Chains A and B, each alone.
Chain A
Amino acid sequence: MSYTKVFSLAVLAFSAALTVARGADFKVVANPSVGAASISADELKGVFLMTKTSLKDAGHVEPVLEKGGPVHESFVKEYLGKTDAGLQNYYRSLAFTGKGSIPKEVASDADVVSTVAKTKGAIGYIGAETEAAGVKVLEVK
């Protein structure tokens, strides 16, 4: 096999590895104490990267995350611009320098709903088809 063919195959393999599959659909949910009906993408990013700890008309807010899964992967990629590993490193860098805490992480959509429902100021994300009982759905602008 010629060098050119090997190189082309390597480039194709690399490109395929970089191609990310289409993610799962999700919706953003909040504790009823969060007064706003909508949130901007920048605000959402700020809340989950913990550079934004309050929202207008909402007071103190805090993120609730899922521990992995397609909904989590999609949300992290689309709104935070990170991989799961990158996000975990980001939270650890806050915790191990004292500049923040690792936010609540729960196992499933149902756990996100129940945790957000009982935590004042909490904001999370769940699959688009998951019932959002006891929480409010925020429109992302």
Chain B
Amino acid sequence: MKPQRLWLAAAVFAAPCLLLAQFDFSVDGRTVQVHSFASQGFALSNVNNYLTMDTSNGSFALTDFGFNASTAITDKFRVGAQLYDYNLGRLGKYVPELDWAYGDYRFTDWLGIRGGKVKTVQGLSHDVQDMEFLNTWALMPQSVYPLDTRGDAIAHIGGDLYGTVAVKKLGSFSYTLFGGLRPNDPNGGYLYGVDTMSHVPDPKGGFMYITGQTKDVTYYGGPVYGADLRWTTPVKGLLLGASYMVQDITTTGHYTKPIVVAYKLTTVKDNATNFYAEYLFGNLRFAGEYRSEPKIVQLNQPSGVLVQGFQDSRSGYVSLSYRFFKWLELGTYQSRYVDNWPVNHGDPRNHIFDQTITARFDINRNVDFKLEEHFIDGAAIDGVLDHGFYAAPNPNGLAPNMHMLVARIGYHM
């Protein structure tokens, strides 16, 4: 680790702190709230380089920060926006982006509408997965919340209809209907994976991904729509929910070898379904989530031949955490990703199983520090372009098992 990088990481972390950027001010009698956050992580693995970081040598390339401002223009109309910046190994590269920005009009408790760039509500924590201070974990369960593709999936440019309906003795139901366009994160993991990896026949049978600079892929996006329904049940502390999402993603660019010709990957079918549960009992929190995403895509090869690819991925996690003191929370989760469900689940080239234990220390109300150990079985290198394992940062191949220490300090105000 070069000292300059340490200084850069320290400076990046310190800058928002120096701004002391939670302050409220009034404009025409209305309060404007300004909030900020930053986090800096360190990851060290025994083998493999994970999430494009050089984790096998120890990496500080796990940094993010942002700030937002929002206000209620009237009792029913809110506006706000957040700027966000991140660096994750070879991704992000500190290019600032507009994370969310929208207007939100709530007609009544059971009907509101928001439009702009809106964080997508899908599953238990999708819209808050990147707010490390809200979660016990240094890294969220990567099967459901992959950090490397955050920029592609965290928000949609479009709108939501939302509301909450209380039903006597049955608790309350909150719904969100959403639709719009997926934003393109040119520095995200999906494009990095497509750009740097090639799908080739495996001498042992089937296919595998290897490093290959044969294309320049620059765009990912397309329509997305879906719904989320969460039920705050009459059982104290129990929340149940389900989400459904349809995407029609197109990825474009061009092949550079053996000939220069357009590259186009289109979605024939991509429907994701989530079921989730959360149970709170005092300081104990249990959460679990299951996600199914069968997908059919069509790709033009350099020769012009169209080929179809099928993937039926399943993912999920169960987690348990307990806050022993105001300053200490301990937790564990088992996160599972199977790239292609009909194929052998036990093959480490088809799955990623991650058993994690975490200690979270809340230094004060605004600063937390986490220590986390991951025991990862499998790399699913056979069939995915993301989910943390890439060919390019692992030129000597991937070991089927690894463990990794992650330390992360976060600040928010």
Contacts of B127 in A (CB 8 A): 93, 97
Is A46 a contact of B131 with CB atoms below 8 Å? no
Is A18 a contact of B281 with CB atoms below 8 Å? yes
Q: In the complex, A81→B299 CA distance in Å?
A: 50
Residue of B nearest to A88 (CB): B365
Of A52, A93, A101, the contact of B70 (CB 8 Å cutoff): A101
Is B403 at the interface (CB under 8 A from chain A)? no
Is A17 at the interface (CB under 8 A from chain B)? yes
Report the count of interface residues on B (CB-CB < 8 A): 46
Residue of B nearest to A20 (CB): B282
Contacts of B75 in A (CB 8 A): 53-54, 60
Residue of B nearest to A60 (CB): B75
Is A93 a contact of B81 with CB atoms below 8 Å? no
Rounded to whole Å, the gap between the CB of B278 and the closest CB of chain A is 11
Contacts of A18 in B (CB 8 A): 281-284
Beyond A92-B133, A96-B35, A98-B68, is A81–B323 a contact (Cβ under 8 Å)?
no
Q: What is the 8 Å Cβ interface bit string for chain A, positions 51-94, against chain B (1 contact, 0 not)?
A: 11110000010000000000000000000011101101100110
Contacts of B289 in A (CB 8 A): none
Is B106 at the interface (CB under 8 A from chain A)? yes
Beyond A95-B70, A96-B68, A97-B119, is A46–B109 a contact (Cβ under 8 Å)?
yes
Rounded to whole Å, the gap between the CB of A102 and the closest CB of chain B is 7
Q: In the complex, A89→B37 CA distance in Å?
A: 14
Beyond A17-B324, A42-B172, is A98–B104 a contact (Cβ under 8 Å)?
yes
Q: In the complex, A102→B119 CA distance in Å?
A: 18
Is B237 at the interface (CB under 8 A from chain A)? yes
Is A98 a contact of B102 with CB atoms below 8 Å? yes
Most buried by B among A51, A85, A96: A96
Is A98 a contact of B106 with CB atoms below 8 Å? no
Is A5 at the interface (CB under 8 A from chain B)? no
Q: In the complex, A18→B102 CA distance in Å?
A: 41
Within 8 A of A (CB), among B29-84: 31, 33, 35, 37, 68, 70-72, 75-76, 78, 80-82
Q: In the complex, A95→B133 CA distance in Å?
A: 13
Rounded to whole Å, the gap between the CB of A17 and the closest CB of chain B is 7
Q: In the complex, A121→B142 CA distance in Å?
A: 43
Is B72 a contact of A101 with CB atoms below 8 Å? yes
Is B14 at the interface (CB under 8 A from chain A)? no
Is B323 a contact of A83 with CB atoms below 8 Å? yes
Rounded to whole Å, the gap between the CB of B175 and the closest CB of chain A is 12
Beyond A20-B282, A93-B131, is A51–B324 a contact (Cβ under 8 Å)?
no
Beyond A96-B68, A98-B104, is A86–B131 a contact (Cβ under 8 Å)?
no
Is B280 at the interface (CB under 8 A from chain A)? yes
Of B71, B119, B131, the contact of A92 (CB 8 Å cutoff): B131
Rounded to whole Å, the gap between the CB of A44 and the closest CB of chain B is 11
Is B33 a contact of A95 with CB atoms below 8 Å? yes
Is A96 a contact of B164 with CB atoms below 8 Å? no
Q: In the complex, A97→B236 CA distance in Å?
A: 25
Given contacts A60-B75, A81-B236, 4 further A-B contacts (CB under 8 A): A18-B283, A95-B33, A98-B100, A100-B78
The contact sample of 18 A-B pairs, CB cut-off 8 A, is A18-B283, A20-B282, A46-B172, A52-B109, A53-B106, A54-B108, A54-B109, A82-B280, A86-B280, A92-B133, A96-B37, A97-B119, A97-B127, A98-B68, A98-B70, A98-B101, A98-B104, A98-B119
Interface residues of A (CB under 8 A from B): 17-18, 20, 42, 46, 51-54, 60, 81-83, 85-86, 88-89, 92-93, 95-102
